[in-house]
């Protein structure tokens, strides 16, 4: 039986647990050390540290303190790991807590984080998803149920001092191009809410003021939100500090490609069973700049899809040059509009795209001026036929229900 080397208490604040941190910095102390070949279990808070509740109000999503996130378990040291090595991480298993069989999906207010479609959904909304073994459904979104593919949204190794400085310089430079933008262009260091694990006192205060936020993916891994990193996956991370400093968190019960609602998967607390090994000098041997992974052999089997195309022409008819971001946004909007014809509200449809195992594909990036992206919506998640037919769409979803919304405070 594998040892649980990091434990959490869902009834206590993540700030009270010194094996948890919410920033990236090379000075954060290792909280445990394992050997190559070891396997072990790590428990994880949901990414907000318990700020979101299982209820029918979106006030907590509206008011969430995003300067706190993400709460990560670690960092874990691996004996013999040195800068330039590759840390091989096997995800052996991953699951929910018996006492916490639910998760949440949210749209953040444009004034507090926003999201991929924030101009269309500018205010906070939340849906709650209940787990039944490998399946999930929501009281806020009827007529849909699907199998989850549980995975860590965030996993990576500690950065070196040089890499941390690179991140801060380039992200500060980006913010400087439009410092008043809402949402902001990047999340810069914020020491006030930093939780630096076992680093204490003035050292923690100084490091917290320059520590990188956990919001984006970077060269070390981080918040990549790759839904296929489930049980059976293998990931190869570049090592930047002695011991590697592996941390993990932001567990998702299920997610659509792109995590388009930003709080965009079904977020959950839970546990993950890992095994580690080393490839010495692996970064140079394989020319690695960013992590490489092998996907899980296990995934929900949906073999029939309605596929929506988007091109790089925005909602106002503006032409963009081979812009995949615009193209995928259009594919998502096209799917949302389609689902409303069966009775879903636009918010319910948006939540489905964030939570269900939809697939996103880059289909073309060479045919000027339009890139083409596609969104694959599995038909089997619905309890009615959502395929196009000569009879036209039949409204199957009863009205009067929607994803709870909380208006911005004045």
Judge if 215 and 309 occupy the same domain: no
Q: Range of 365's domain?
A: 305-403
Query: What does the pLDDT look like over 326-342, one tens digit per residue?
Result: 999 999 999 999 999 99
pLDDT score at 250? 98
Beta bridge mates, 235: 89, 293
pLDDT score at 263? 86
Question: Is 408 a domain residue?
Answer: no
Judge if 179 and 92 occupy the same domain: yes
Distance CA 361, CA 358 (A): 10
pLDDT confidence bin for 162, thresholds 50/70/90 = very high
pTM: 0.96
The 10 Å Cβ neighbour count of residue 308 is: 21
Q: Are 218 and 238 in contact (CB under 8 A)?
A: no
Q: Given a cut of 80, is residue 147 above it in pLDDT?
A: yes
Please give the average per-residue pLDDT across 213-235, as a whole number: 97
Judge if 150 and 34 occupy the same domain: yes
pLDDT score at 1? 80
pLDDT score at 205? 98
pLDDT confidence bin for 211, thresholds 50/70/90 = very high
SS3 (DSSP) at 38:
coil
Question: Is 287 a domain residue?
Answer: yes
Beta bridge mates, 237: 87
Distance CA 106, CA 240 (A): 34
Token pair recorded at residue 281: 């000098």
pLDDT score at 262? 84
Judge if 87 and 36 occupy the same domain: yes
pLDDT confidence bin for 398, thresholds 50/70/90 = confident
Please give the average per-residue pLDDT across 46-55, as a whole number: 97
Distances (CA, A) of 264 to 280, 329, 374: 36, 14, 18
Q: Given a cut of 80, is residue 399 above it in pLDDT?
A: no
Out of 73-82, 91-100, 254-263, least confident range: 254-263
Alpha helices in 287-390 (DSSP H): 324-340, 346-355
**Quick one: what percent of the chain has pLDDT higher than 90?**
95
Judge if 373 and 287 occupy the same domain: no
pLDDT confidence bin for 186, thresholds 50/70/90 = very high
pLDDT confidence bin for 400, thresholds 50/70/90 = confident
Question: Is 70 a domain residue?
Answer: yes
359 CB-contact burial (10 Å; exposed 0-12 / middle 13-18 / buried 19+): middle
Q: Are 300 and 357 in contact (CB under 8 A)?
A: yes
Q: Given a cut of 90, is residue 190 above it in pLDDT?
A: yes
Token pair recorded at residue 135: 């399946």
Last residue of a domain, one of 273, 294, 315: 294
Q: Are 113 and 335 in contact (CB under 8 A)?
A: no
Question: Is 268 a domain residue?
Answer: yes
Q: What mean pLDDT, rounded, does the chain reach?
A: 97
Judge if 261 and 196 occupy the same domain: yes
DSSP conformation class of 155: E
Please give the average per-residue pLDDT across 237-261, as a whole number: 97
Q: Given a cut of 90, is residue 223 above it in pLDDT?
A: yes
pLDDT score at 293? 97
pLDDT score at 258? 94
Beta bridge mates, 147: 135
Here the CATH number for the domain that contains residue 373 is 3.10.28
pLDDT score at 140? 97
pLDDT score at 38? 98
Distance CA 210, CA 95 (A): 34
Residues 86-111 as b/e (b if ≥16 CB within 10 A, e otherwise) read bbbbbbbbbbbeeeebbbbbbbbbbe
Judge if 165 and 68 occupy the same domain: yes
The dihedrals phi and psi of 6, each to the nearest 5 degrees, come to -135, 120
Question: Is 299 a domain residue?
Answer: no
Beta bridge mates, 177: none
pLDDT confidence bin for 124, thresholds 50/70/90 = very high
Decide the pairing of beta strands 3-6 and 221-222: unpaired
Distance from first CA to last CA of the chain, Å, rounded?
53
Judge if 193 and 321 occupy the same domain: no
Number of domains the chain is built from: 2
Of 59, 32, 23, the closest CA to residue 187 belongs to 23
Question: Is 40 a domain residue?
Answer: yes
DSSP conformation class of 207: H
Distance CA 260, CA 324 (A): 14
Distance CA 382, CA 376 (A): 14
pLDDT confidence bin for 344, thresholds 50/70/90 = very high
Please give the average per-residue pLDDT across 348-371, as a whole number: 97
Judge if 180 and 269 occupy the same domain: yes
Of 50, 149, 58, 151, the closest CA to residue 347 belongs to 58
Q: Are 85 and 279 in contact (CB under 8 A)?
A: yes
Distance CA 257, CA 260 (A): 8
Query: What does the pLDDT look like over 61-83, one tens digit per residue?
Result: 999 999 999 999 999 999 999 99
Distance CA 247, CA 337 (A): 39
Judge if 179 and 147 occupy the same domain: yes
**Quick one: what percent of the chain has pLDDT higher than 70?**
100
pLDDT score at 299? 86
State the helix-helix crossing angle for 324-340 and 346-355, rounded to 10 degrees: 120
Query: What does the pLDDT look like over 375-392, one tens digit per residue?
Result: 999 999 999 999 999 999
Please give the average per-residue pLDDT across 13-34, as a whole number: 98
How many residues are listed for the chain in this entry?
A: 410
């Amino acid at each position: 039986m594998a040892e649980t080397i990091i434990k959490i208490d869902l009834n206590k604040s993540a700030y009270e647990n010194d094996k948890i941190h919410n920033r990236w910095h090379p000075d954060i102390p290792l909280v445990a050390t394992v050997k190559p070949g070891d396997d072990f279990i790590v428990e994880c808070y949901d990414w907000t540290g318990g700020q979101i509740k299982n209820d029918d109000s979106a006030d907590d999503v509206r008011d969430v303190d995003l300067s706190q996130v993400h709460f990560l378990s670690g960092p874990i040291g691996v004996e013999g790991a040195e800068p330039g090595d590759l840390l091989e991480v096997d995800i052996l298993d991953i699951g929910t807590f018996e006492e916490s069989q639910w998760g949440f999906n949210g749209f953040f207010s444009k004034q507090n984080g926003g999201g991929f479609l924030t101009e269309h959904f500018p205010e906070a909304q939340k849906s709650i998803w209940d787990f039944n073994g490998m399946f999930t459904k929501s009281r806020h979104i009827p007529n849909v149920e699907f199998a989850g593919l549980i995975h860590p949204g965030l996993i990576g190794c500690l950065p070196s001092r040089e890499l941390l400085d690179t991140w801060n310089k380039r992200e500060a430079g980006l913010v400087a191009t439009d410092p008043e933008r809402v949402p902001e262009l990047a999340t810069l260091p914020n020491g006030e809410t930093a939780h630096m694990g076992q680093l204490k006192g003035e050292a923690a205060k100084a490091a917290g003021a320059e520590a990188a936020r956990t919001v984006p993916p970077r060269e070390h891994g981080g918040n990549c939100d790759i839904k296929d990193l489930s049980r059976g996956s293998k990931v190869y991370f570049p090592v930047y500090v002695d011991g590697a400093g592996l941390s993990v968190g932001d567990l998702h019960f299920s997610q659509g490609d792109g995590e388009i609602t930003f709080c965009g998967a079904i977020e959950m607390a839970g546990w993950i069973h890992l095994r580690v090994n080393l490839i010495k000098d692996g970064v140079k041997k394989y020319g690695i700049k960013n992590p490489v992974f092998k996907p899980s052999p296990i995934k929900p089997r949906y073999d029939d899809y309605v596929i929506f195309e988007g091109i790089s022409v925005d909602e106002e008819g503006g032409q963009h040059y081979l812009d995949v971001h615009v193209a995928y946004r259009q594919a998502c909007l096209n799917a949302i509009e389609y689902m409303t014809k069966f009775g879903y509200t636009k918010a319910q449809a948006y939540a489905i795209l964030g939570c269900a195992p939809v697939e996103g594909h880059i289909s073309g990036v060479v045919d000027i001026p339009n890139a083409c992206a596609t969104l694959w919506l599995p038909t089997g998640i619905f309890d009615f036929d959502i395929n196009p037919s000569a009879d036209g769409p039949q409204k199957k979803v009863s009205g009067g229900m929607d994803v709870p919304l909380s208006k911005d405070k004045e």
